[in-house]
Every structure is written in C-alpha cells, then in structure tokens.
Amino acid sequence: MTLKEVSEKTGVPYRGDPDCPVLGIKDTSRLNKETPLADGYIYFIEKQQYLENINSDKNESIALGAKEETETFKNALVVEKDARLDFINLLNLFDKSKSFEQSNTDSLVHPKSKIGENTLIYPGAIVMQGAQIGDNCVIFPGAIIEYECKIGNNSTVRSGAIIGHHCVVGNHCIVYENSVIGSDGFGHYDVNQKQYKIPQIGSVHLADYVEVGACTAIDRGTIEETSVGEYSKIDNHVQVGHNCIIGKNVYIAGKASLSGSITVGDKAILAGGCGIADHINIAPDSIILAGAGVIEDTEGGKMYFGYPARPAREMHRINKSLGQLPDLIKRLKQVEQSLNGSNSSD
C-alpha cells in the first residue's frame, strides 16, 4: 500500500509523499540511536520520550502519532484524537491472520503447502496453506501447522500442538503435546468503559535446537517477534508473554510465567513457578529460584528468590531476621512493661 491508501483505510490524515510505499509496522521500543529506521515502515510514536531513542536520520520511514510527536518526520500519519485507537486500526489493517485462503479439498495437507523429503505427517495432522516443513520432520496426529508457517529440518511437532500462522520453528526443534506457538498476546486498551483488543500481528521465532514442553504457550509479538534463542529449553505449563526475547541456552522450568516484553539473557535459569513482571531484564547467567516474583532487573551471575525477589545472600539475611521476630517482640513487650511500671511509680 501507499501512505495515502493507508490513510484512507484507517481514517488517519497523512502528511508527506502520498505515494510513499508502506511495507509494514516496526516496534518503536526496540529502537536505539545506532539503529537507523527502516524505510517504508510505520513507527508508533506515542510519547515525546520515544523520540530520544530514535536515530536522527529518518529517511523514508513513517511516523504515527500526534502532530508534535511527528513533526520531525517527512512522512507521517497524524493523529487527531486517540493515538492508541488509531494504532489499533493500523494493526488490524496489517493483521496477517485474516489473509489466508481456505482449501477446497478434503486433504489435511493443503496443496499449496511445501513438504520436505523424508518428512512424516501422521493421519489427523493438519497442514494449512503456504506452510513450509523441512526434511526429516515428524508431525504427529492432531498437530496443526497453520498457514505460512516455516519449520526447519529434523524437527518434531507432537500431538495436539499448534504452530500458529506465520511462526518460524528452526532445525532440530521439538514442540511437545498441546503446546501453542503463536497464541494471541494479552493486549487490551480501555477507554470510556469500552475495551479494545490490541491486535497481535507479530509472530514467534524458535531458533535451532529449541524444545518446548507440553501445554506451554508462547504468545506472538504485538508487532514483531517473540523469540527463543538456540539450545534454550522450556518445560511444561510455561507462559511466555508477547514480545519476550529469550536468549541462548536458557532453561525455563514448569509453571514459570513471563509477562510481556521481558528480555532473558543467555544461560539464565528460571526455576519452577517463578513469575516475572513485564518489561523486566533478566541478565545473562541469572538464576531465579522456584516461586520467586521478579519485579526489578537482575544482575548477571546472581541467584534470586523470594517476593519481591532479591539476591540470595540478602534474602538469607532477611529470612534469618524473620526467625528472630517472635523473641524480639517478646523482649519489646517486656521493655514496654518495665517502662510503664517505672512511669506509674513516679
């Protein structure tokens, strides 16, 4: 589409070249001053502070935002009322989940999919339009490979697992029973007592040698990718929220819950039942012990537990002090009684 066409479809006025090609949307939160903006992509500039992380050379990129946030851009979609509602309309316009074509055949493998050599697809599995599955893969009964997915070589998708549309699974990966790769991210916007669902138009990218345990959900990114790095292993019943970036050689144990937009550094370990608040940075080589609740960024190479999670050495001192509280309270009462007795005699 062109900038003018996007403006007409979303109802947002534009400024700049009407014929400027629009290729998609990019995530503003991942920008830094060293990274140039991509030509032809729209960036949602919701606040002035977002401009601080933007390379001054904007080229043919496009801003979506209020007049004061977009005035330094050559091309812009200029918001007049509610920027977030206009952003939701824009996401709906680029929502790839609405672009697939239904098969008119009875086959469970769509004729427009591509299947590699020596790949075994069991009866009852579904492979949709445009899916690409590499060589030597195994797709078990009841697995669903949605449209425009890409699965590398030597990977296995077990029964009941779903690889959502436009998601990517690398080589030598295993997705176990009933897991969902590319479930919808949990994003909503409330205005005037009305809820608006924020479309999640991104995808999930599992790098090579990733394993995802049974009944785990990895949400697709709002705009770009939720990603899991090479050799990372995710246990059963884990929730990974939208926009998370998980590094290489990471271990995440059962029932861990990651909110949206979390970064997990290489070789970090997240033990069972821990919870991580949104937009937290788990530094490389961090260890989060079972049941911990992390609400602040961690430091690399340290172990954390408790709620709120603190470095292990600090938490051990706190827990040791807690054990002394009953005796301290008893002694305090004795001191109060002594003082009260002394005051009454005076």
Which residues on neighbouring strands pair with residue 114, listed in sequence order? 132
CA dihedral angle for residue 256, residue 261, residue 265, residue 270, rounded to 10 degrees: -10
What pLDDT digit, counting tens, does each position of 187-233 carry? Answer: 999 998 899 999 999 999 999 999 999 999 999 999 999 999 999 99
Sheet containing 263-264: which strands, arranged edge to edge? 114-115, 132-133, 150-151, 168-169, 203-206, 225-228, 245-246, 263-264, 281-282
Give the N- to C-terminal CA distance of the chain in Å, as an integer.
Answer: 90
Burial zone of 41 (CB within 10 Å; 0-12 exposed, 13-18 middle, 19+ buried)? middle
Identify the three-state secondary structure at position 112.
coil
| Three-state SS sequence of 241-271 | CCCCEECCCCEECCCCEECCCCEECCCCEEC
The Cα-based distances of 119 to 81, 108, 141, 152 in angstroms read 53, 15, 14, 11
pLDDT of residue 35: 81
Rounded CA separation 298/284 (Å): 9
Task: State residue 23's pLDDT score.
Answer: 94
Other C-beta atoms lying within 10 Å of the C-beta of residue 59: 13
Q: How far is CA 233 from CA 115, 160, 212, 214, 304, in A?
A: 26, 19, 6, 12, 20
Band (293; pLDDT cuts 50, 70, 90): very high
Q: Which of 321, 322, 264 is nearest to 288 (CA)?
A: 264
In the predicted structure, residue 318 carries a pLDDT above the cut 90: no
- Rounded Cα gap, residues 160 and 171, in angstroms: 20
Sole residue written with tokens 């904007």: 58
Please give the pLDDT value at position 72.
87
pTM of this prediction?
0.86
Contact 175, 158 (CB under 8 A): yes
Confidence tier at 58 by pLDDT (50, 70, 90): confident
Please give the pLDDT value at position 242: 97
pLDDT: which is higher, 56 or 247: 247
Q: How far apart are CA 307 and CA 315, in angstroms?
A: 10
- Would you say 130 and 100 are in contact if contact means Cβ atoms under 8 Å apart? yes
Residue 240 three-state SS: strand
- Residue 30 is classified by DSSP as G
Angle between helices 3-10 and 83-93 (to 10 degrees): 110
CA nearest to 309, candidates 266, 276, 264: 276
Side chain identity at 177, as an amino acid letter? E
Catalytic sites, residue numbers: 242
For residues 164 and 200, give the distance between their C-alpha atoms in angstroms, rounded to a whole number.
12
- Give me the pLDDT at residue 46, please: 86
